[in-house]
Structure 1
Amino acid sequence: MSAAVSFAIFVVAFAFIAAEKVHKVKVVLVAAGAMAVLGLIPGDEVFFSETAGIDWNVIFLLLGMMIIVGVVKHTGLFDYLAIWAAKRSKGRPYRLMVMLMIITAIASPFLDNVTTIMLVAPVTVVVCNRLGIPAQPYLIAEVLASNIGGAATLIGDPPNIIIGSRAGLTFNDFLVHLAPIVVVVFVVFVLLTRVLFRRSFRYAPERVAAVMALQERRAITDPRLLKRCMIVLGGVVAAFCLHPVLHVEPSIVALVGAGVMLLVSRADVSDVLREVEWGTLVFFMGLFVMVAGLVNTGVIATMGGWAVGALGGDHFLSATALLFGSGVLGAFFDNIPYVATMVPVVEEMVAQTPDAKTGQALWWSFALGADFSGNGTAVAASANVVAVGIAARTGHRIGFWQFTRYGVFVTALSITIAWVYVWLRYFV
């Protein structure tokens, strides 16, 4: 009975989020509160266990990076990069989109995709404002590119960190097995954007001429502050990349970086904190609590157990189910708590495989499905929610269905290509 109630609450809340009639923060707070009042979540664990409640690593990573970006914003760096990108692309919309997607996709495997979006999105908004074009298509394309590119490495997407830890897979394992298919999917996606966003490509010669006449160096308002910020940001990025060696959580790195950034910049703390997307952070906390209700009442475990029993000993069918199943479920449950919940189920499936190659095929299928599922809906991955929040704050609102109609198609295509790759590489 409790499982049915928690599932019903989740479905109703998701329907309200999709309908966009009520603000999503209000929806998740009411839904999370309902689960707490009805005793569907572990009250003594929801604030202390990342597998059964709020994942504070994600929350504090976001908070730290929002503070860092808020300080960097005052240097004029984003205006500089925006003018530079506009001039390099000569104001051509598709060329600009490809440039921004490539930057995002290259950065995502080495930073996490949330950090990448938080650094690239403000630049995108500024350049689109300069050129007088809508920012929404560019932000959506960047998020999709980030979720694709982040799948290539252990640290590029949070689900990979969880899977790597549980399966004993290294940074190089992810690079060797997932990077090739990520490159293929990204190239197909770049070509596809020419068609997907064709109605959004606008070229205003007078705005382009005005931007081409600008000198980007003049956009830097405080060169000395910029140098200090770049040193701190470089240290944060290096610490992210050295996670397999340092074993320091990205959230700790981001918080320490934010503190050091505030110290070296001497910025007004109140001004910087106003740049933080508090609504986005609260939304994530409510969403984690909602998923905790599904975990605690056994909804997700039941789905996983059913899958194990239904697939039997057909390992290619198991890989297919993990790939497509994760693609569907991860799009609705947020892929971080989804992966944390399903990892034990996949571990049990791997234990029943005849050899290591087949077992790894299941892990890679699970990782690809979970990573690519992040493009499925506007709430499927942390980067999506962050981008939507930045868009709303800057006057370029992205609706749930505006994002999702692109995301669903890209997810389906990505997972289909990945399925062919898994079949050819591990089962033929």
Structure 2
Amino acid sequence: MHADNQVIFATAVFLITYAFIVSEKIHRTVAAFCGAALVILAGIVNEEQAVHYVDFNTIGLLVGMMIIVGITRQTGVFEYLAIKAAKSAKGEPIRILASLGLITAVLSALLDNVTTVLLIVPVTFAIARQLQVNVIPFLIVEIIASNIGGTATLIGDPPNIMIGSATHLGFMDFVINLTPVVVVIYTITIFILKLIYKKQMVTCPELMQNIMAMDENAEIKDPVLLKKCLTVLGVTIIGFVLHQFVHLESSVIALTGAALLLLVTRMDPEHAFHAVEWPVIFFFIGLFVVVGALEEVGVIEAIASLALDITGGELLPAGLLILWLSAIASAFVDNIPFVATMIPLIHDMGRLGGIGDLNFLWWSLSLGACLGGNGTIIGASANVVVIGMAEKRGAPISFMTFFKVAFPLMLLSIVIAMLYLIAWYILHTTMAMLATLAVGIILALVLGWLGKDRASGGAQKSNT
């Protein structure tokens, strides 16, 4: 196939695959796999190149964490936490709403947001039923909290997992650079959500007593297994914190944690592997190959050149462009395929534009894609999961019901993120300038001292 035809074919396959993923006419895993098969059959990429484009660090991290969480969920600890949070709120619906939001955000940061909502939503329905209040505000808060919380760490949201795998950024890099702004965004967002839903969160004291009568301890099904799971989970998280210093990939840490948990629990591997969302894993594999074909024929490089022309190759405008583009795009399409496309594009922007430090662009992409997922009910995987669970339980959430609350909050979060990125850029630029100035001053003093020393040495020789 001629080079120009390869470009057209690869682009067409990508767009058609993307269209099927967004429309959900066929399962997104099938769409991604068919797209991958087409670009390989057409010779755009061969088998070896296709394997090269698959990011096995992302795949390994997802599989490892899915196994760990899948075994841990059998203990009932997540139901325990949800009921404990409701009781700590004294059964008051508005306080429960905030408590469940906080639990969701924290668990989304430490595990992943899709798994978190799968665990929290069933308990939420039980609590809302006891209080006889509308469950939809709880679900909307949990969706928004899961995406905000997932933004804070490397393992919290699939886009962050992909960014971390494609760069040299580690767990603590995400925590140090993203968690502060995530805490601010979450606090402001929950405050506004409480104001929005305050009038709907009304019940009687008798029903509040139903919550206080719930026994959270009864949810713990296997205390011995729980201790083993929490120990291994703690060791795994410590491994994530240290993985850059011990020069191990995050996937190695996650898979080692999964192997250790399988060993200490003596659980049947076949049963444990049922916890792995294999359609999600194969969706990623197909997607990596389809995007790899675009990279192979030079489409990604061309788009990167266009972006550099628009921003003049300047770091700050490029970062803000990526932030807003990612946010708006991720609100209306799944943020995973969008980030898969953006990662090679940012790499090419760095290579073509001579941008030395790409970290600013990675933080822009992370904040835009993860927070932008809150814009609509189809913006992120966690959103789609909650919507599906709500429909099965007879509490459907319409597109507009979610949109009119979540989209303005998403825009507000992006404005806050933009201000944070500008401050981050100014701070790091100022520090770099000060460091350069300090080095210059020290160098000048040393040279001056050496010159003075030589002059005094010459004077002594002439006197002699």
Q: State the TM-score, normalized to the length of structure 1.
A: 0.77
The residue number in structure 1 matching 2:277 is 277
* CA positional deviation for 1:131: 3.5
Shift in alpha-carbon separation, 1:200–1:151, aligned structure 2, 3 A: same
Shift in alpha-carbon separation, 1:230–1:127, aligned structure 2, 3 A: same
1:366-419 per-position Cα deviation (integer Å, ceiling 9, x unaligned): 55435534545677667667x569949986999995898476554433222322
Shift in alpha-carbon separation, 1:165–1:291, aligned structure 2, 3 A: closer
The residue number in structure 2 matching 1:129 is 126
CA distance in 2, matches of 1:202, 1:14: 43
CA distance in 2, matches of 1:289, 1:199: 49
> In the alignment, is residue 337 of structure 1 matched against residue 340 of structure 2?
yes
1:254-302 per-position Cα deviation (integer Å, ceiling 9, x unaligned): 2222222222222333333333322222223233233223322333222
**Which residue identity lines up with residue 371 of structure 2 in the other structure?**
F
Where do 1:45-84 residues align within 5 Å?
A: 45-46=49-50, 48-49=51-52, 52-53=53-54, 55-84=55-84
Q: Whose radius of gyration is greater, 1 or 2?
A: 2
CA distance in 2, matches of 1:404, 1:299: 35
1:372 is paired with a residue whose SS is helix
Where do 1:23-34 residues align within 5 Å?
A: 23-34=27-38
Shift in alpha-carbon separation, 1:228–1:123, aligned structure 2, 3 A: same
Shift in alpha-carbon separation, 1:72–1:282, aligned structure 2, 3 A: same
Instruction: Check conservation: 1:374, 1:380, Cα contact below 8 A.
Output: yes
* CA positional deviation for 1:232: 1.4
The residue number in structure 2 matching 1:3 is 7
Instruction: Check conservation: 2:57, 2:165, Cα contact below 8 A.
Output: no
* CA positional deviation for 1:8: 2.8
The residue number in structure 2 matching 1:186 is 186
> In the alignment, is residue 351 of structure 1 matched against residue 350 of structure 2?
no
1:343-370 per-position Cα deviation (integer Å, ceiling 9, x unaligned): 32342477369xx8xx876565455435
**Which residue identity lines up with residue 416 of structure 1 in the other structure?**
V
State the aligned residue count.
416
Shift in alpha-carbon separation, 1:5–1:427, aligned structure 2, 3 A: same
Instruction: Check conservation: 1:80, 1:220, Cα contact below 8 A.
Output: yes
* CA positional deviation for 1:341: 0.6
> In the alignment, is residue 35 of structure 1 matched against residue 39 of structure 2?
yes
1:106-134 per-position Cα deviation (integer Å, ceiling 9, x unaligned): 4556x4x62x6535641343343343378
Shift in alpha-carbon separation, 1:384–1:43, aligned structure 2, 3 A: farther
CA distance in 1, matches of 2:27, 2:206: 38
1:182 is paired with a residue whose SS is helix
Deviates more, 1:190-199 or 1:283-292: 190-199
Shift in alpha-carbon separation, 1:179–1:238, aligned structure 2, 3 A: closer
Instruction: Check conservation: 1:89, 1:96, Cα contact below 8 A.
Output: yes
Instruction: Check conservation: 1:378, 1:404, Cα contact below 8 A.
Output: yes
Instruction: Check conservation: 1:350, 1:362, Cα contact below 8 A.
Output: no
* CA positional deviation for 1:169: 7.0
Where do 1:89-168 residues align within 5 Å?
A: 89-106=89-106, 111=110, 114=112, 117-119=114-116, 121-132=118-129, 138=138, 141-152=141-152
1:295-320 per-position Cα deviation (integer Å, ceiling 9, x unaligned): 22333222111111232266553343
Deviates more, 1:390-399 or 1:94-103: 390-399
1:214 is paired with a residue whose SS is coil
Where do 1:266-415 residues align within 5 Å?
A: 266-312=266-312, 316-328=316-328, 332=333, 334=336, 336-348=339-351, 351=354, 364-375=363-374, 387=385, 391=389, 405=403, 409-415=408-414
**Which residue identity lines up with residue 34 of structure 2 in the other structure?**
V
* CA positional deviation for 1:422: 3.7
Shift in alpha-carbon separation, 1:33–1:175, aligned structure 2, 3 A: closer
The residue number in structure 1 matching 2:264 is 264
**Which residue identity lines up with residue 61 of structure 1 in the other structure?**
L
Shift in alpha-carbon separation, 1:66–1:168, aligned structure 2, 3 A: closer
CA distance in 1, matches of 2:396, 2:321: 32
The residue number in structure 2 matching 1:240 is 240
CA distance in 1, matches of 2:163, 2:270: 38
Shift in alpha-carbon separation, 1:234–1:186, aligned structure 2, 3 A: same
Structure 2: gaps (5+ residues): 428-464
* CA positional deviation for 1:80: 1.9
* CA positional deviation for 1:66: 2.0
| Percent of pairs with identical residues | 36
2:221 is paired with a residue whose SS is coil
Instruction: Check conservation: 1:129, 1:135, Cα contact below 8 A.
Output: no
RMSD (Å), alpha carbons: 4.2
1:274 is paired with a residue whose SS is helix
CA distance in 2, matches of 1:143, 1:19: 21
**Which residue identity lines up with residue 282 of structure 1 in the other structure?**
F
Choose between structure 1 and 2 for higher RCO, CA contacts under 8 A separated by at least 6 residues: 1
Structure 1: gaps (5+ residues): none
The residue number in structure 2 matching 1:416 is 415
**Which residue identity lines up with residue 294 of structure 1 in the other structure?**
L
Instruction: Check conservation: 1:336, 1:381, Cα contact below 8 A.
Output: no
CA distance in 2, matches of 1:421, 1:216: 39
2:33 is paired with a residue whose SS is helix
